Amino acid sequence: MAKLLFFLMLISLPALADDIAAPVANETPEVIKELEALPVATKQNVTEPEPEETILHTVKKKIIPIPECHSPKLLNSAREHIATFLRTSATNSTLFRRRRHFILKSLDAFTTENIADYKTSAQSPVSDIIVDLKMNGGVLEENMRLCKNENINQAERPLFLLIWPEDGKYKVRIINLSDKRYVNLETSFIYEE
């Protein structure tokens, strides 16, 4: 029974299509006449809009000399600040005392690192801090210096000094100094040459 109904529907479709198409074909010339009656814009009447005034602002990069990583005055300031920081955040943990010993013993050798190498999240938190300074602080990458110190203890993360100009002086941020297992603090200091 269902097949018979389906067959009858298929047979009636062409007739239904002819009934629908006839009125549409009769209306087509009227629609064309209405479209032709609409006013057409000629090329003479159309004018190009004038471009708005464009204001260009160029940013000049001001490159500021940054102290070298092996500068004795910078290393002494970093050593004093790190020693004070570690002394004030001391815990009774043997691991923390051991870590403090290795850090203080290895503060003489910082090497300059290429900041462009620290742009991926794999280099976090260094890359996070660099991006934050560039985006929120407006510090140019050319006005930053990254110094790396490989600790004597290879199990520990290396220390970094990130240096940038701020208010006519230099701000030095020490990265990876605080280990969240022992103390969760960030530290930085102002350095003057």
pLDDT at residue number 163: 93
- Quick one: pLDDT at residue 100? 78
Q: Does 146 have pLDDT greater than 90?
A: yes
Q: Mean pLDDT across the chain, nearest whole number?
A: 75
CA–CA separation, 99 and 178 (whole Å): 10
Percent of the chain having pLDDT more than 90?
7
pLDDT of residue 28 exceeding 60, the answer is: yes
Q: How far is CA 158 from CA 36, 109, 119, 120, 150, in A?
A: 79, 11, 17, 17, 5
* pLDDT tier for residue 118 given thresholds of 50, 70 and 90: confident
Percent of the chain with pLDDT over 70: 58
Mean pLDDT confidence for 152-164: 78
One-letter amino acid of 179: D
- pLDDT digit string (tens) for 64-101? 888 898 888 998 998 888 888 877 776 677 777 777 77
Residue 184 is predicted with a pLDDT of 47
Measured in whole angstroms, the distance separating CA 173 from the mean position of its chain's CA atoms is: 20
- The pairs formed by 18-27 with CB atoms below 8 angstroms and a separation of 24 or more are none
Q: Does residue 182 carry a pLDDT above 50?
A: no
Closest CA to 144 of 156, 154, 158, 132: 132
Q: pTM for this structure?
A: 0.62
Q: What value does the CA radius of gyration of the chain take, rounded to a whole number of Å? A: 37
Half-sphere exposure at residue 193, Cβ-oriented, CA atoms within 13 angstroms: 13
Q: Is 30's pLDDT higher than 80?
A: no
Task: Write the DSSP assignment of 114-176 as a string of letters.
Answer: -GGG--SGGGTTHHHHHHHHHHHS---GGG-EEEEE--SSTTSPPEEEEEEEETTEEEEEEES
Domain spans in the chain, listed from the N-terminal domain onward: 72-191
Question: What pLDDT is stored for residue 110 in this prediction?
Answer: 86
Read off the pLDDT of each residue in 23-29 and give the average, rounded to a whole number: 58
- At 40 the pLDDT is 59
Average pLDDT over residues 45-72: 74
pLDDT at residue 172, as a whole number: 92
